[in-house]
Amino acid sequence: MTAVDARPESPATLRFPEGFRWGTATAAYQIEGAATEDGRTPSIWDTFSRTPGKVRNGDTGDIAADHYHRVREDVALMRELGVTDYRFSVAWPRVQPTGRGPALQKGLDFYRRLCDELRDAGIRPVATLYHWDLPQELEDAGGWPRRETAARFAEYAGLVADGLGDRVATWTTLNEPWCAAFLGYGNGVHAPGRTDDAAALRAAHHLNLAHGWAVGALREKLPAGTEVSLTLNLHVVRALTESAEDRDAARRIDAVANRVFLDPVFRGRLPEDLVRDTAGVTDWGFVQDGDLAAIAAPIDSLGLNYYSPTVVAAGSSESPSPWAGAERHVRFLPAPGPRTAMDWPVDADGLYELLVRLRDELPEVPLVITENGAAYDDYADPSGQVRDPERVAYLHGHLAAVRRAVEDGADVRGYFLWSLLDNFEWAFGYSKRFGIVHVDFASQRRTLKDSARWYADVIARGGLPS
């Protein structure tokens, strides 16, 4: 009997809908390692992590969780947990090393092996085409602020669809384009580390355009009925008070955090207030005829990543910020309540609010929680166990919020826990642990945390223990 099998019986379960997808998620640069093997070339995160002062402790993703060499072991863990779906990302520089030209078959072979292992284990492969690892050569040519990068991405999407189209069940074009645009080019805390509000807004548009063009490339290559999606980290923005000034601060952040993506993708237009708010930064002249129609290509579902809410009031914040001009009108305040190791507030009601908002604004679009989870200061105790009751409580609260939203009419089709493995947590390096599987990075030993056993029980029940 395995540790996962040894779960207590419970008399009552708060069940989720039949067919609900129970998954977990990772990203290529955070877990794969093998940074120079089989033809892979540097991404912007390889360069950024080698830039002094950018990543805590000078950590890099060179080895990470060594998933490139441990696919079979990691898929076996997923099978043990009973997940129905696994969301992974394809490393652009592993498949198309310079961002141009033909696909590198050795790179595609790695993802073929991964998908085959998953399917043999009865797990649906869910592929994300872009989780922030832009080939460095494309950044050197201008990066996402340059329109040509969107064209290169559409070509890359077609290459991956050619190579994996018979294996992948769901395709996600982009993961969190807000982070790629505004953390990468606005305040520079993510790769490539540029600080230019105008460049951030151009990047946001070109990421939207890359998404739309990639949807077209995928539809052309993939079998009919294959699910095509997009994942956004939509912000739950709360005004500190009901004053007109504070509500206007929330409106400004909602425009540059949420509607900069939602309106072009689902309504084929730019938010008029965002264009007004950012007139001092850019005239939006980079938006060409036909762009918005391309961006609004229909998709089959919307992925949502949620961790915590944002509280704002009228005032001003320090620059550089990721808010493209809004920092002159908005100040940010800490939300109340307990905190994770990231110092993020724990607030499951925010996830409910987000799902209900989208129920009302996009009633025809199925929703999937593509990331939700928490970092805590986990460690293996002398018996070798990893006790993480805070994470269990966090996950229980957020899954309960999802279930409440479903009961109230939100069309939520699945939940992907972030993350399967402890990994390279971007600018925090290896100092933050989000996994439900503990990784000893020196030995690469994997250990199921208590939260992994808890999640396995939830999956087996089809819902939460009441």
Task: Supply the pLDDT for residue 1.
Answer: 30
Q: Residue 141 pLDDT more than 50?
A: yes
Q: 10 with 461: CB under 8 angstroms?
A: yes
Measured on CA atoms in the order 104, 109, 115, 118, is the torsion positive or negative? negative
pLDDT digits 0-9 by tens, 177-194? 999 999 999 999 999 999
pLDDT digits 0-9 by tens, 83-101? 999 999 999 999 999 999 9
Cβ-in-10-Å burial (0-12, 13-18, 19+) of 7 comes to middle
- HEC profile of the chain: CCCCCCCCCCCCEEECCCCCEEEEECCHHHHCCCCCHHHCCCEHHHHHHCCCCCCHHHCCCCCCCCHHHCHHHHHHHHHHHCCCEEEEECCHHHHCCCCCCCCCHHHHHHHHHHHHHHHHCCCEEEEEEECCCCEHHHHHCCCCCCHHHHHHHHHHHHHHHHHHCCCCCEEEEEECHHHHHHHCCCCCCCCCCCCCHHHHHHHHHHHHHHHHHHHHHHHHHCCCCCEEEEEECCCCEEECCCCHHHHHHHHHHHHHHHHHHHHHHHHCCCCHHHHHHCCCCCCCCCCCCCHHHHHCCCCCEEEEECCCCEEEEECCCCCCCCCCCHHHCEEEECCCCCECCCCCECCHHHHHHHHHHHHHHCCCCCEEEEECCCCCCCCCCCCCCECCHHHHHHHHHHHHHHHHHHHCCCCEEEEEEECCECCCCHHHCCCCCCCCEEEECCCCEEEEEHHHHHHHHHHHHCEEEC
Q: Is the pTM of this model over 0.85?
A: yes
Cβ-in-10-Å burial (0-12, 13-18, 19+) of 248 comes to middle
Q: How far apart are CA 170 and CA 85, in angstroms?
A: 10
Task: Supply the pLDDT for residue 6.
Answer: 36
Known catalytic membership, residue 148: no
Confidence class of residue 321 from pLDDT cuts 50, 70 and 90?
confident
The whole-angstrom distance between residue 438's C-alpha and the CA centroid of its chain comes to 20
How many other C-beta atoms are found inside a 10 Å radius of the C-beta of residue 51? 12
Half-sphere exposure of 184 (CA within 13 A, CB side): 30
The active-site residue, picked from 117, 176, 327, 425, is 176
The active-site residue, picked from 139, 327, 353, 371, is 371
Q: Residue 9 pLDDT more than 60?
A: no
Confidence class of residue 376 from pLDDT cuts 50, 70 and 90?
very high
Q: Residue 439 pLDDT more than 80?
A: yes
Nearest residue to 127 (alpha-carbon basis) of 152, 101, 156? 156
Q: How far apart are CA 111 and CA 52, in angstroms?
A: 32
Q: 157 with 115: CB under 8 angstroms?
A: no
Q: 136 with 179: CB under 8 angstroms?
A: no
Q: Residue 2 pLDDT more than 70?
A: no
pLDDT digits 0-9 by tens, 20-38? 999 999 999 999 999 999 9
pLDDT digits 0-9 by tens, 27-78? 999 999 999 999 999 999 999 999 999 999 999 999 999 999 999 999 999 9
How many other C-beta atoms are found inside a 10 Å radius of the C-beta of residue 316? 12
Q: How far apart are CA 186 and CA 257, in angstroms?
A: 12
Q: Residue 3 pLDDT more than 70?
A: no
Mean of the pLDDT values across residues 92-116? Answer: 98
Known catalytic membership, residue 327: no
Confidence class of residue 317 from pLDDT cuts 50, 70 and 90?
confident
pLDDT digits 0-9 by tens, 273-310? 999 999 999 999 999 999 999 999 999 999 999 999 99
Q: Residue 396 pLDDT more than 60?
A: yes
Q: How far apart are CA 262 and CA 208, in angstroms?
A: 10
pLDDT digits 0-9 by tens, 248-259? 999 999 999 999
